[in-house]
Amino acid sequence: MSPPLLIVNPAARGGRSAEAEALAAFASLGVQVAVHRTNGPGDAGRIAAAKGQGPQLFVLGGDGTVMEVVSALVGRGISVGVLPGGTGNQLARQLGIPLQVRHAVAALAGAPSAPLDLGRLADGRHFALTAGFGLDAAMIRGASPALKRRFGVGAYFWSATRAVMALRPFAVRIEADGQRFEREAGLAMIANVGVVMGGRFGLGPGVRPDDGWLDVCVVSPRGLVDGLTLAARMARRDFRDDPRMFFIRARAVRLEVAAGIPAQADGELLPVTRLDARVVPGGAQFLAPFRPTRIFQRTSSPTSAETWQAS
C-alpha cells in the first residue's frame, strides 16, 4: 500500500518548521508519508486531484489550502486530515483538532471519518464554513499578512473591532429555495456551521454542518452600539425573535448586494456582488479525533434556543 499523501503549503504561517514538526510526529508513529509542496494558488487542488488515491490524505496549511483540496476531492470518498498551519484554522477548530501540529498528527492517527456538508458556489468553488458579505469579509480584509504574522489569530479580533467601528449598513436581496426577501444588513452570511472564532460567536439557531441544509444569517445593526449589542447576543447564542436578526434555512441560496461590499468564502476574499450557493450533502469527508456523532453536540442557549457547536 502506498504511503498517505501529505500536501504542504510552505507559505502558510508555520512554514517549513511546521512541516518538520509534522514529519517528526508521523515518524514517531511509524508512519511514512509522501510529501508534496505547493508553489502557488491552486496547486493544492491539482496535487490532490492527481495524487489522492488512498482512503485518506493530510493537508498542512490554512483553511484556503484545505478547501482547495476538499473541492478537488468531492465525491471521491477520500478523507482529509487537517494539520493546522494557518492563522485562523477555523476548520481544525470546528473538527476539534489540536492546534499544535504534532498533537494534531497524534489525534488524527486512526481517527474516524466525519461526513460534512459543503456549499457549492456558481463558479464551482466549495465552502465548508461560511460565505457572505459585510462585516465578516471586512474583518478578513483588514487582517493584513503583517498583522497575522505578528499577532496570529489576534489580528482578526483587531480587524473585527475596526470593521464594527466602520460599519455601514447595505441592502441585500435574498432568495432561499425560491422565497425572496430584502433586508438592510451589516452582515449577510450563508452558514454551514453554527459557530466561528473557536466557538466564541454563534451564527444562528440550529445551524449544523451535517443536516443537508444551508442557513442564511443576516444581522442588521443600527449603529455602533447596536452592533456591539448584537455581537454580545451572538456570543451568548441568544437568537430570540428580533427585527435586527433574520434566519432562514434552504438548500439553494442567492445573496446579492451593490458594488463595493466585501465578500468572502471560508476566509478567501471574492470580487463578487452575488453569491449563489447550493448545499452538497455529505460532500466532504474529514478525519476527526472524535466519533462523527460527537463532533457537533446540541447545547441550549440562555433562551433555550437550540444551537450547535464543536465539542
CB atoms inside a 10 Å sphere around CB 267: 23
* Distance in angstroms (rounded) separating the CA atoms of residues 141 and 87: 14
Domain boundaries, the chain: 5-111, 126-280+295-310
What CATH number is given for 126-280+295-310 in this structure? 2.60.200.40
Position of cell 465539542?
Answer: 311
Query: H/E/C letters for each residue in 59-104?
Result: EEECHHHHHHHHHHHCCCCCEEEEEECCCCCHHHHHCCCCCCHHHH
Across the chain, mean pLDDT equals 86
Question: Please, which residues have CB within 8 angstroms of residue 144's CB and are 6 or more apart in sequence?
Answer: 155
- Distance, in Å, from the CA atom of 23 to the CA atom of 14, rounded to the nearest integer, reads 13
Residue type, 281: P
Residue in 33, 32, 39, 34 with CA at minimum distance from that of residue 9: 39
Average pLDDT of the residues in 295-308: 36
Render pLDDT for 138-194 as a digit per residue (tens, 0 to 9).
877 766 666 566 656 666 666 666 766 677 889 999 999 999 999 999 999 999 999
- C-alpha closest to that of 30 among 85, 112, 110, 96: 110
**259-265: average pLDDT:** 94
Rounded Cα distance between 211 and 291, Å, is 17
DSSP, res 248: E
Residues in the chain: 311
> What b/e string do you get for 44-54 counting C-beta neighbours within 10 Å, with b at 16 or more?
bbebbeeebee
Give residue-wise pLDDT tens across range 17-72: 899 999 999 999 999 999 999 998 899 999 999 988 888 999 999 999 999 999 99
- Which residues fall within 8 angstroms of residue 96, CB to CB, at 6 or more apart? 288, 289, 290, 295, 310, 311
What pTM value is reported for the model? Answer: 0.84
Q: What is the mean pLDDT of residues 98-116?
A: 93
Which amino acid would we find at residue 47? I
- What pLDDT does residue 144 have? 61
Q: What is the C-alpha to C-alpha distance for residues 129 and 95, in angstroms, rounded to an integer? A: 11
pLDDT reading at 239 higher than 70: yes
Tell me the C-alpha distance between 52 and 21, whole Å.
Answer: 22
Please state which CATH class domain 5-111 belongs to: alpha beta
Element housing 176 (H / E):
strand 170-176
Name which of 20, 15, 125 is nearest 69 in CA terms. 125
